[in-house]
Amino acid sequence: MVIRGLRVVRGGRPIIDGLDLRVPAGSVVGLMGPSGSGKTTLMRSLVGVQDKVTGTVEVLGGAAGSPVLRRRVGYMTQDASVYTDLTVVQNLRYFAALAGIPDGAEAVAAAVGTVDLGGHEKQRVGTLSGGERSRVSLAAALVGGPDLLVLDEPTVGLDPVLRRDLWAVFRRLAAEGRTLLVSSHVMDEATQCDRLILMRDGALVADTTPDELLATTGAPDAERAFLALIDAARPAARPAQGTGPSGSTGPSESTGPSGSTGPSESTESTEETAR
Ligand SMILES: Nc1ncnc2c1ncn2[C@@H]1O[C@H](COP(=O)(O)OP(=O)(O)OP(=O)(O)O)[C@@H](O)[C@H]1O
Per-residue pLDDT reduced to its tens digit, 55-76? 999 999 899 988 888 889 999 9
Q: Is the Cβ atom of 36 under 6 angstroms away from ligand 1?
A: yes
Q: Which atom of ligand 1 is nearest to the CA of 33?
A: 21
What architecture is the 27-49+64-236 domain classified under in CATH?
3-Layer(aba) Sandwich (3.40)
Lowest average pLDDT, out of 66-70, 91-95, 106-110, 236-240, goes to 236-240
What is residue 248's predicted lDDT score, i.e. its pLDDT? 34
Sorting pLDDT into bands at 50, 70 and 90, what band is 48? very high
How far apart CA 219 and CA 127 sit, in angstroms, is: 44
Determine what percent of the chain is predicted with pLDDT higher than 90.
59
Nearest CA to ligand 1 atom 18: 38
Cα-based distances in Å from 68 to 27, 151, 218, 275:
22, 20, 44, 14
Q: What whole-number distance in Å separates Cα of residue 192 and Cα of residue 189?
A: 5
- Assign 165 to helix, strand or coil: helix
Res 235: pLDDT: 58
Other C-beta atoms lying within 10 Å of the C-beta of residue 219: 16
**Phi-psi region for residue 60, left (φ > 0), alpha (ψ -120 to 50) or beta?**
left
Rg of the chain taking only CA atoms, in angstroms: 18
What is the distance between the alpha carbons of residues 142 and 107, in angstroms, rounded to a whole number?
A: 9
| Distance linking the first and last C-alpha atoms of the chain | 13
- Of 16, 40, 230, the residue with max ligand 1 atoms within 8 A of its CB, to mutate for a pocket test, comes to 40
Q: How confident is the model at residue 102, as a pLDDT?
A: 77
**Euclidean distance between CA atoms 9 and 191, whole angstroms:** 31
Distance 191 CA to ligand 1 centre (A): 25
34 touches ligand 1 (CB under 6 Å): no
Interface confidence (ipTM) of the complex: 0.96
The distance between the two most distant Cα atoms of the chain, rounded to a whole number of Å, is 54
Q: Show me where the domains of the chain are located.
A: 27-49+64-236
Do the Cβ atoms of 19 and 203 come closer than 8 Å? Answer: yes
Euclidean distance between CA atoms 19 and 40, whole angstroms: 14
Question: Apex CA 93: angle with CA 58 and CA 1, to 5°?
Answer: 10
If you average pLDDT over residues 45-51, what whole number do you get? 93
Of 8, 13, 15, which is best to mutate to test ligand 1, by the most ligand atoms within 8 angstroms of its C-beta?
Answer: 15
122 CA → ligand 1 middle, Å: 36
